Structure 1
Amino acid sequence: MGLLRFKPIPSGRMGTLWTLSTIKNAALVEFGCMGHMLYSGVTLKHGGVNDLCRLYSTHIDETDIALGGTERLEHTVANIIKNDSPKVIFFLPSAVPEVIGTDLRALCDELQQEHPEVMMIPFGHGGFNVNQHDGVKNALLTLVKNIPAEVGKTPEPTFNIIGSCADLFRFQADAAETIRAVEGAFGIKPLCVLTSGTCIEDIERMGGAHVNLVIRREGEAAAKYLQRKYGTPYILHRPYGIDGTAEWLEEIERVLGSAFDRAFVEKERGIARSMLEPVMPRFRHMSRSHMEEVTLHLGAHADIVEGILSFGCREMGFNKGVCWCDSPDMGTDELPYYSEEKWIPAVEGLKDGLFMSSGEILEWAGRSLSMQISYPDRSWHLHPFEPPFMGFRGAVNLVNLWINCNIERW
């Protein structure tokens, strides 16, 4: 790893941790250095994750490393089962055991025989050869391969959301708006929101859903597995904007084979457009005479950038500016991946327009922190009730941010 001025891409271990940390009635044990989990716990609390999955670290010392001792892990598991009675224990390696070749899966198999009443699930990616997004992808896939029970479809249509994880900014607010839109349009309930706001019992019921709504591309592998095993169709779409959300609901309608409530959708569209009406003349004027001021510059997760950009350009008449994604595996010709070496000069050259990115980048660039759409930052986000970015209400929130940023710059 070379010298960096800002953060590197988080490791697969962190992606796994962020994915598992919001699951209730489970415990997560890291077999590694104690400091890792302490710092990770603080980071999670900054993002509003509290007392959901119980987090533990075994702590290892020089003797464990030199002699390959695993007694601490065995004692930790026994104490967790005695004191917390979790339904599932997740095992997460850290860099040191990964480097010395500790076989965590074999250890899990031994512990499973000693404690058959608790499901043991090992996860990989303790090293630095896998990045955050692969960690999220593999964690979601591992969960659906191991926990869902053999159940029939629910009598009435239901849905799962796949990909609402703690590494995404305002993940809880976006999941809540997604649920509100689907419940309002179809009158159906979610079985599981994987993984924010869920528990082991919810994951066990996932096979009973009639459709899986995948809101980030890392969740597609999990959705494909559920489709093969339970015959559940899925939709990979992150809905942004007024028209964009309505089109997403139409896509769900086609998959479910049942019509949504047109009155609800038209009411939501009408409310959103009525709220935006006072500022639209200003934006139309900008689009005609000062296009540089309604140019969108975005840097974040690829699905978030593509969704916000689609709403801004297609529905608001904005212009596409400097846009990049934060994963080398998701970069394309139209939306490239920018390393720190590339985004620093790109951001330094931005004099006009609307710039949305991580809190860290916005602070460094001297831009408004209200335009944050991704981590990291130094702020606390203690509750899940902030305005979303997705859905009908997310469209209003985005325009509200854009108009106030425009006023500040003028």
Structure 2
Amino acid sequence: MGLHRFKPLPSGRMGILWTLSSIRDAAVVEFGCMGHMMYSGVTLENTGVRGACKRYSTHIDETDIALGGMDKLAHTVAHVVERDNPRVIFLLPSSIPEVIGTDLRAEAKALQREYPDTLFLTFGQGGFEVTQHRGVQEALLRLVQALPRDTDKTPQPTFNVIGSCADLFRFQADAGEILRIMQGAFGMKPLCILTSDTSVQDIENMGGAHINLVLRREGGPAALDLQKRFGTPYLMGRPYGIDGTAQWIEEAAKILKISADRDFMDGQLREGKKLLSDMQPLIRHLKQEHTEEIRLSIGAHADVVRGILDFGCKELVLPKGYCWCESPDMAGDEVPYFTEDQWIQAIQSQKKGLLMASGEALAWADRNMSLQIANPDTKRRLNPYVPPFVGFRGALHLMDLWINAALEQEDDED
């Protein structure tokens, strides 16, 4: 691993942990060192994950690594079963056991025989070479392969959300807006919100849904698996903006073969278009007289960048600045991957404008912290009911942020 000025791209292990950490009635047991889980626990609590999946570490040391001992894993599992009696125990690898070739799957089979009433699931993306997003993808797929039970579709249409995980900034608020939209547009309730607000039982019931809403590309393999097994169609994408959200709802309606509630749609569109109409003179003024202040630059998860970019630069026609994603696996022509040196250079070369990035990057650049859309964070996130970025309410929130941030720069010049 090279030297980094800021936090490096998280590992696959972290992606798995962030995905599993919000599942109730389950426990994560990491075959690793004590410090790993303690540090991760603080990070998770700061992002808003509390009181869900129990987290444990086996506290392996040099002797365990040198001799390949597995006794501490067995002792830890015995303690977890006795204390919490979880329905599922997730066995999470860490980097050192992955490097030395510990066979965690074989150990899980032995534990399964010893504790037949508890399901053991293993994960294999714990090495240094695996990125966070591959860990999220594996965890989502593994969950839907192992836990959903054979079931009939619910009498009334229902849906699952796939890919709402704790690694995404404001994951709870964005999931809440998706639920509000589905209730308002179709009168539908969720079966499972995978994984930001779910339980083992919720995942078991996923096969009864009529549609799966996949909020990030890492959830694609999981949605395909559910489609093959239960015949459940899926909609891929995050709804951003006014027109973008309306189009997302129309696509969901086509899949469901039902019409969206007209009163709800008219009310949401009228509210959004009214604010946009009121703001247009100010936007035109800023674009003509203060182009640099209204230029939009974005660095985050590729799907977040793509969605906000479409709303800001296509729907609102804001000038486009630098845009980049946080993972080389997701890079494309319009949203490339930037290394740490590259995004530092991009930010330094464009001193003005609307920079939306991680809290860490914004704090370092001394830029407007209200425009944060990604982790690493610099604050504790205790309130899950903050405004979202997706959906109709997310569009209103983004417009408010952009206008005020641009006007603050204009005032600073005066």
Give 1:378 shift: 1.7
Separation in 1 of the partners of 2:311 and 2:262? 21
**Residue-by-residue CA offset, 1:146-186 (whole Å, 9 max, x unaligned):** 00001111111110000000000000000000110011000
Partners of 1:351 and 1:378 lie apart in 2 by: 21
Corresponding residue for 1:223? 223
SS at match of 1:329: helix
**CA RMSD, 1 decimal:** 1.0
2:61 matched residue in structure 1: 61
Give 1:11-410 correspondences, 5 Å limit.
11-410=11-410
Contact 1:140–1:222 under 8 Å retained in 2: yes
Cα-to-partner distance string for 1:46-84 (whole Å, 9 max, x where unaligned):
101111000000111222112211111111111111111
The answer (yes or no) to whether the contact 2:183–2:189 under 8 Å persists in 1 is yes
Amino acid paired to 1:226: L
Distance 1:244 1:108 in 2: 45
SS in 1 for 2:213: strand
Q: CA deviation at 1:219?
A: 0.4
Encode CA deviations 1:102-160: one digit per residue, 9 max, x unaligned: 10000000000000101000011221110000000011000000000011111111100
SS of equivalent residue, structure 1 residue 279? helix
Tell me the distance in 1 between the aligned counterparts of 2:101 and 2:69.
Answer: 12
Code of the residue aligned with 1:160 in structure 2: it is N
* TM-superposition CA deviations, 1:344-376 (whole Å, max 9, x none): 111100123211000111111110111100000
Q: How does the TM-score come out when normalised to structure 2? A: 0.97
CA distance in structure 1 between the partners assigned to 2:62 and 2:3 by the alignment? 28
Question: What amino acid is aligned across from residue 240 of structure 1 in structure 2?
Answer: Y
**Which moves more between the two structures, 1-10 or 13-22?**
1-10
| Secondary structure in 1 matching 2:329 | coil
Any conservation in 2 of the 1:287–1:317 contact (CA below 8 Å)? no
Amino acid at match of 1:35: G
Q: Which runs of 5+ in 1 are unaligned?
A: none
CA distance in 2, matches of 1:389, 1:354: 15
Question: In structure 2, how many angstroms separate the alpha carbons of the residues matched to 1:319 and 1:266?
Answer: 29
> Counterpart amino acid of 1:350?
Q
The 1-side partners of 2:21 and 2:79 are apart by 20
- How far apart are the structure 2 equivalents of 1:80 and 1:205? 25
Contact 1:148–1:204, Cα closer than 8 Å, also in 2: yes
Residue identity in the other structure for 2:232:
T
Structure 2 CA distance, aligned partners of 1:236 and 1:126? 27
Q: Which amino acid aligns with 2:271?
A: I
Structure 1: how far apart are the matches of 2:13 and 2:369?
Answer: 28
Cα distance in 1 between the residues matched to 2:358 and 2:227: 34
The one-letter code matched in structure 2 to 1:49 is V
CA distance in 1, matches of 2:355, 2:300: 11
Give the residue type in structure 2 aligned to 1:319. P
User: Residue 163 of structure 1: SS of its match in structure 2?
Assistant: strand
Percent identical residues: 59
The Cα shift of 1:289 comes to 3.8
SS in 2 for 1:110: helix
Distance 1:146 1:406 in 2: 49
Q: Aligned equivalents of 2:289 and 2:99: distance in 1?
A: 59
Instruction: Determine the C-alpha separation between the residues in 1 that align with 2:400 and 2:295.
Output: 16
Higher deviation after alignment, 315-324 or 49-58: 315-324
Provide the rounded CA distance (Å) in 1 between the counterparts of 2:365 and 2:290.
Answer: 22
Report deviation, 1:277: 4.2
Instruction: Give the SS at the match of 1:373.
Output: coil
Aligned equivalents of 2:163 and 2:296: distance in 1?
25
8 A contact 2:159–2:211 mirrored in 1:
yes
Distance 2:27 2:324 in 1: 36
